[in-house]
Amino acid sequence: MAAKLSAIDTAKYVAAKRACDFVEDGMRVGLGTGSTAAWLVRCLGELVKDGLSITGVPTSTRTADLARQLGIPVTTLDEVKWLDLTIDGADEYDQNLNLIKGGGGALLQEKIVATASDRMIVIADRTKQVEALGAFPLPVEVIPFGWQTTKALLEETLAALDVMGDRVSLRMNGSAPYVTDEGNHILDLHLGRIGNPRQTALVLNQIPGVVENGLFIDICDMVVTGNGDGRVQVKDINVGTTQEDVIEFDDAENIFANLE
């Protein structure tokens, strides 16, 4: 018998389960990376087992491995060219559905896949909703060559932007720099608050050595937010609607309870 889900895991699960309602037979679906996106992949795996026919395009090797384990057919973006839908998590989102992503280190592939989709749906728990982006460190993917120079240029640039902090740190994996699937490093920008996300995103990408930043502006179409009591809020920014549902399930029989 599976253990009872924690409130945070319940929130992630019900958001993922509700988002599956937007996946239709025959779709090409971008599969996000991170703890919440992993719930989505597990839910889709159950639907595929029951007969749903989809093709998944993973945004990381971790997601690809999980999807294959669960029987979801996967391919590459180069193969399918364009996607019907991408479902992914977020580290933060604001009322305009601007996002910070990249806490899991896959921001580059995540942004490419999301941009190559007709729609992007973010699944999240309530803690990811913020008044202003920036409390979560903003990831910036940079090439390894000259990364310290890139870091200095970022620090200099931040002084002219509408942000609260300016500390930049190299993301580590133990005693070595973290390496992305594309062989790059990540610099985390500890900004506190980002007053103008659009301007910040544009300026950061002009710095030599920067590959991409974790600000997702005008990319997300819908956020599905889960709560620990099973309630789910669905906000669609394109039609200007917000609705609330309740996802009911038996914790004791839930096969996802051991998902980390």
Report pLDDT digits (tens) over 159-207.
999 999 999 999 999 999 999 999 999 999 999 999 999 999 999 999 9
In this structure, is the dihedral angle defined by the CA atoms of residues 58, 61, 66 and 68, taken in order, positive or negative? positive
- Residue 131: active-site member: no
CA dist., res. 230 & res. 223, Å (int): 16
User: Catalytic pick from 110, 156, 248, 260?
Assistant: 110
CA dist., res. 111 & res. 152, Å (int): 25
User: What residues contact residue 233 under an 8 Å CB cut-off, 6+ apart?
Assistant: 223, 224, 225, 227, 242, 243, 244
Confidence (pTM): 0.94
Output the CA–CA distances (angstroms, integers) from residue 210 to 30, 92, 141, 198, in the order listed: 24, 21, 6, 16
CA dist., res. 23 & res. 69, Å (int): 20
- The more confidently predicted of residues 255 and 7 is 7
Q: Which whole number is the average pLDDT over 132-149?
A: 98
Nearest to 112 by CA among 60, 154, 74: 60
Asked if residues 30 and 247 have their Cβ atoms less than 8 Å apart, the reply is no
In angstroms, how far is CA 81 from the centroid of its own chain? 20
At residue 248, the pLDDT reads 81
Token pair, residue 233, equals 């809020």
> What tens digit of pLDDT does each residue of 31-76 get?
999 999 999 999 999 999 999 999 999 999 999 999 999 999 999 9
Which residues face 31 on adjacent strands? 58, 87
